[in-house]
């Protein structure tokens, strides 16, 4: 960060931003503590004076922007505003937490300390810095959830100003945001922030695709809003007659959600019909429950428009796990297309917009709702974290974006479980001991295996046996983070016990031999005999009975000359010592260059193309440098690339193609269409004759008049593939044509 004196205009800009912050704060229901906030602003202004961001603006504009998000978009109060203003002071200046504590009290100092710890820290050689950061972030939930909310606000402003960062930094930050911060915002009920984080991440990862969809959306937006006004006119009249104060808003799909729908449904932009949803927010009448009034409005709407019987979502009777409440119904509009209508009270709307902060505002009594249960689950995972930071991140992510199913206990209590949960997941959800001894379940009074996948409305009774113990294949049965954490903790505990038992058995066997040689010599010879590298591996196999010690004498002292017996061990021992250097001695991964150019002669020499996504020239790609210095090229939207950007940001580089049709690449494409006579000949004519593309394999099936063709073709680049698809789609018989990457279909 640069340091220089600010101009008068910059000083005025800072003061104006602070006055806007105070104005936003004045319009909140919080107890006004303007003096405290002013002191925090003056302190931060002094600490960051003369410091600039990469964009060139005064650094203080960042804490001010974060504080504005905290108060206006999340709805927090003076303590959080002060912490947001001060969140970078300890990390970036000479001031300490003790200074913050002395000037602003324990609570603000505790939150600033939590935010500082998330940013810094010393990490293990093999652990991911980012994953360790996330672990620290979640640990703060145990103390004060506001740390997490301010961190999300900090990330949102960083994403809004990401254009000032170099390309490789943009990839890392956008990937990290998409992988963990957007799902975390969703899980905490911050829906507008979650949507913006997803959109911004997509914008920086796929700028061309983003711009293309944004331009198309701008063209149709006017027509969509006109249809919206026609659709809601009779609803407005009906609600007015019912005496409600209300607002009706149009919710336009975000660019990212449109892209996601195009990918999952394999459809072009023009076929995304549900661009707009209708949101009704009303002030309920006194004397009637909110639930009853939502259903009354539902009845009024379905008197006007015909509802879709399978697309009613009652999130009022059973709120989502992130606290979301609303009644959704999809109805047939005037234009013959389905329109989703969301019905909410003003309280429900604030919960949906401001998430956890609003959840606490409206909470009454000691009852535990779904958000409280989720936070408790996170704390349980943190009590037994994965030793590997990346595995921990994956385990935690299982708790994000999980759709719910509702099941009942034998006593009639309702439980919320992630979609795809099994009976064994439910057993661990109820109690780890119940999970460890589970043998199956009674579902709706019928016996089912522990692998039974729960369905909404099931009544489930867990069956146990004291003789039952977890088996390694149980990890393939469970899908929830809590169950996986419990099982891995159990296996680690068992491994430690077996290792300790094996070590004792080995020591006893060595003592019984009464050998002149030291125990270390016998141990090394035994390791070499069984081709093992670590004593713990040997002890564990002895403990579980895989290795028996009856022949230890022959293993340690085979009938050969002393020279032949000892010399090979000393030689291999030295080699082994090199091979199994402890983690702390391992070489650090090389730092990747900022960017690389992908050329025809560099393939498999300077870089390799990843098998998981099989990129070809023209695809948007990035590079990941492994510990050996080899760069792996992944597509930007590859799942593995998302994880690498999050976990190994320093080893990511931007990559650009500079190839000249020297080398071809095998691509698998799928074509579907109407099975008319001669259609296959037409397809092959386009591929082989019109484009002169070589075929590797072809497989065609036909069912109910629809043909599906899987072709492997040799392609030079993405542009050639796109031209081929355009030509195929111009055939009247062809309905769709796309690449097949792994198990996922992808449009160009």
Q: What is the pLDDT of residue 137?
A: 59
Please say if the pLDDT value at position 371 is more than 60.
no
Task: Name the range with the highest mean pLDDT among 73-77, 129-133, 408-412, 474-478.
Answer: 474-478
Q: How far apart are CA 405 and CA 408, in angstroms?
A: 10
**How many helices and strands in the chain, by DSSP H and E?**
28, 20
Task: Look up residue 193 and give its two tokens.
Answer: 């922030």
pLDDT bracket for residue 211 (50, 70, 90)? very high
| Phi, psi (deg, nearest 5) at residue 402 | -80, 120
Q: How far apart are CA 150 and CA 706, in angstroms?
A: 53
Q: What is the pLDDT of residue 50?
A: 84
Neighbours of 551 (CB within 10 A): 10
Please say if the pLDDT value at position 122 is more than 70.
no
Judge residue 237's burial from the number of C-beta atoms within 10 Å of its C-beta, 0-12 exposed, 13-18 middle, 19 or more buried: exposed
Please say if the pLDDT value at position 603 is more than 80.
no
Of 147, 107, 137, 118, whose CA–CA distance to 382 is shortest? 137
Q: What is the pLDDT of residue 391?
A: 55
Locate the DSSP E strands across 323-372: 327-332, 338-345
Q: How far apart are CA 554 and CA 548, in angstroms?
A: 12
pLDDT bracket for residue 118 (50, 70, 90)? low
pLDDT digits (tens, 9 = 90+) for 576-597: 333 333 333 344 556 777 778 8
SS3 148: helix
Element (H, E) at 226: helix 207-241
Task: Look up residue 88 and give its two tokens.
Answer: 């970078």
Pairing of strands 414-418, 404-408: antiparallel
Q: What is the DSSP string of 40-72?
A: HHHHHHHHTTTBB-TTSSBTTHHHHHHHHIIII
CA 297 to chain centre: 36
The more confidently predicted of residues 335 and 122 is 335
Element (H, E) at 711: strand 706-715
Of 712, 120, 221, whose CA–CA distance to 112 is shortest? 120
Q: Facing residues of 741 across strands?
A: 744
Q: What is the pLDDT of residue 363?
A: 53
Alpha helices in 467-588 (DSSP H): 481-513, 519-529, 535-543, 552-556, 562-579
Please say if the pLDDT value at position 284 is more than 90.
yes
Length of the chain: 748
Q: Mean pLDDT over residues 381-385, rounded?
A: 57
552 and 505 Cβ atoms separated by less than 8 Å: no
Catalytic choice (10, 11, 57, 92): 92
The more confidently predicted of residues 517 and 693 is 693
Q: Mean pLDDT over residues 82-104, rounded?
A: 88
Name the percent of the chain lying above pLDDT 90: 19
Active-site residue 391, yes or no?
no
pLDDT digits (tens, 9 = 90+) for 2-54: 556 778 888 899 999 999 999 998 988 788 889 999 999 999 998 888 888 88
Alpha helices in 367-518 (DSSP H): 370-383, 389-397, 423-430, 432-436, 481-513
Q: What is the pLDDT of residue 345?
A: 94
Active-site residue 366, yes or no?
no
pLDDT digits (tens, 9 = 90+) for 658-685: 887 778 888 889 998 888 888 888 888 8
pLDDT bracket for residue 426 (50, 70, 90)? very high
Q: What is the pLDDT of residue 362?
A: 53
The more confidently predicted of residues 85 and 517 is 85
pLDDT digits (tens, 9 = 90+) for 516-566: 567 778 888 888 888 777 888 888 888 877 788 877 877 777 764 333 333
pLDDT digits (tens, 9 = 90+) for 225-268: 888 899 999 999 999 999 999 999 998 889 998 898 888 777 88
Q: pTM (2 decimals)?
A: 0.62
Strand ranges across the sheet with 446-448: 446-448, 438-443, 460-464
Catalytic choice (91, 370, 380, 712): 91
Q: What is the pLDDT of residue 568?
A: 37
Task: Name the range with the highest mean pLDDT among 479-483, 631-635, 648-652.
Answer: 631-635
């Amino acid at each position: 960060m640069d340091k220089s004196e600010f101009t008068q205009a910059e000083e005025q800009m800072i003061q104006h931003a602070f006055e806007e912050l105070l104005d936003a704060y004045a319009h909140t229901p919080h107890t006004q503590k303007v003096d405290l906030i002013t002191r925090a602003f003056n302190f931060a202004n002094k600490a960051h004076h003369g410091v600039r961001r990469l964009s060139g603006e005064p650094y203080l504009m960042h804490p001010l922007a974060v504080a504005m998000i905290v108060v206006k978009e999340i709805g927090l109060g003076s303590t959080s505003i002060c912490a947001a203003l001060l969140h970078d002071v300890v990390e970036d200046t000479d001031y300490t937490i003790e200074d913050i504590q002395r000037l602003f009290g324990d609570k603000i100092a505790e939150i600033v300390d939590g935010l500082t710890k998330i940013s810094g820290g010393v990490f293990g050689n093999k652990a991911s810095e980012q994953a360790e950061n996330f672990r620290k972030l979640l640990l703060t939930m145990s103390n004060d959830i506001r740390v997490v909310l301010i961190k999300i606000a900090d990330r949102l402003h960083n994403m809004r100003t990401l254009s000032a960062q170099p390309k490789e930094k943009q990839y890392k930050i956008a990937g990290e945001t998409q992988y963990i911060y957007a799902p975390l915002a969703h899980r905490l009920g911050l829906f507008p922030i979650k949507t913006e984080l997803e959109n911004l991440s997509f914008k920086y990862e796929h700028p061309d695709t983003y711009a293309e969809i944004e331009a198309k959306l701008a063209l149709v937006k006017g027509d969509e809003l006109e249809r919206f006004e026609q659709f809601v006119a009779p609803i407005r009249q009906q609600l007015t007659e019912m005496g409600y104060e209300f607002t009706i808003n149009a919710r336009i799909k975000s660019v990212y959600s449109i892209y996601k729908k195009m990918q999952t449904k394999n459809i072009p932009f023009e076929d995304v019909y549900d661009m707009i949803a209708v949101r009704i927010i009303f002030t309920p009448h006194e004397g009637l429950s909110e639930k009853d009034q939502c259903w009354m409005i539902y009845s009024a709407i379905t008197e006007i428009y015909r509802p879709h019987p399978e697309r009613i979502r009652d999130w009022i009777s059973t709120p989502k796990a992130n606290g979301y409440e609303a009644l959704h119904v999809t109805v047939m509009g005037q234009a013959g297309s389905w329109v989703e209508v969301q019905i909410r009270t003003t309280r429900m709307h604030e919960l949906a917009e401001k998430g956890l902060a609003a959840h606490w505002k409206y909470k009454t009594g000691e009852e535990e709702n779904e958000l409280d249960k989720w936070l408790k689950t996170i704390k349980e995972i943190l009590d037994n974290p994965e030793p590997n930071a990346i595995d921990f991140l994956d385990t935690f992510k299982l708790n994000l974006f999980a759709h719910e199913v509702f099941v009942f206990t034998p006593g009639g209590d309702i439980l919320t479980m992630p979609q795809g949960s099994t009976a064994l997941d439910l057993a661990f959800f109820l109690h780890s001991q119940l999970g460890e001894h589970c043998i199956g379940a009674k579902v709706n009074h019928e016996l089912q295996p522990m692998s039974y996948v729960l369905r909404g409305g099931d009544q489930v009774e867990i069956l146990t046996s004291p003789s039952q113990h977890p088996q390694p294949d149980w990890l393939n049965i469970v899908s929830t983070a809590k169950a996986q954490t419990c099982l891995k903790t159990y296996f680690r505990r068992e491994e430690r016990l077996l290792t300790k038992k094996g070590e004792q058995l080995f020591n006893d066997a060595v003592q019984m031999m009464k050998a002149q040689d030291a125990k270390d010599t016998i141990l090394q010879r035994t390791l070499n005999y069984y081709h093992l590298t670590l004593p713990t591996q040997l002890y564990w196999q002895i403990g579980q009975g895989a290795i028996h010690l009856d022949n230890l004498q022959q293993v340690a002292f085979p009938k050969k000359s002393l020279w032949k017996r000892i010399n090979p061990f000393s030689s291999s021992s030295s080699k082994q010592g090199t091979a199994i250097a402890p983690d702390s001695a391992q070489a650090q991964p090389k730092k990747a260059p900022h960017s690389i150019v992908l050329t025809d002669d560099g393939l498999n020499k300077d870089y390799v193309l990843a098998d998981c996504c099989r990129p070809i020239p023209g695809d948007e790609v990035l590079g990941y440098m492994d510990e050996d210095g080899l760069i792996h090229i992944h597509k930007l939207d590859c799942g593995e690339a998302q994880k690498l950007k999050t976990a190994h940001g320093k080893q990511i580089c931007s990559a650009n193609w500079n190839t000249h049709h020297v080398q071809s690449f095998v691509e698998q494409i799928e074509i579907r269409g109407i099975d008319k006579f001669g259609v296959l000949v037409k397809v092959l004519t386009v591929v082989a004759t019109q484009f002169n593309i070589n075929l590797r394999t072809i497989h065609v099936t036909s069912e109910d008049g629809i043909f599906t063709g899987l072709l492997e073709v040799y392609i030079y680049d993405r542009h050639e593939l796109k031209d081929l698809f355009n030509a195929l789609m111009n055939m009247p018989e062809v309905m769709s044509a796309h690449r097949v990457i792994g198990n996922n279909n992808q449009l160009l």
